[in-house]
Amino acid sequence: MSWDETAVLVAIRGYRNYFDIVPGKFICNPDGSNDWDKKANGQAYLVPKMPIPELTKLIDRLIMHQPAKSKK
């Protein structure tokens, strides 16, 4: 998994076709552990709607896309 490419996919195409969003807030505890507060808001995380291999193929295909050469 690469979150950089996932973030670009969501920024360009939106999340709705690919992910569900779980709202809440990340909590960093004093002991160094962390939790997710589902009752808070202001943050969210993504949950894939499709199998990871399928999502990976989509992102790979987009990364490898070669734009059409312009006619001069």
Is 1 a residue whose pLDDT tops 60?
A: no
Q: What is the pLDDT of residues 25-63, one digit of tens each?
A: 999 999 999 999 999 999 999 999 999 999 999 999 998
Whole-angstrom Cα distance, residue 60 to residue 50?
Answer: 15
Give pLDDT, residue 2: 67
Q: Where exactly are the structural domains of the chain?
A: 3-64
Amino acid at 71: K
For the entire predicted model, the pTM comes to 0.75
Give pLDDT, residue 70: 79
Which residue reads 């990364």 in tokens? 63
- 54 in Cβ contact with 1 (< 8 Å): no
Whole-angstrom Cα distance, residue 37 to residue 45?
Answer: 12
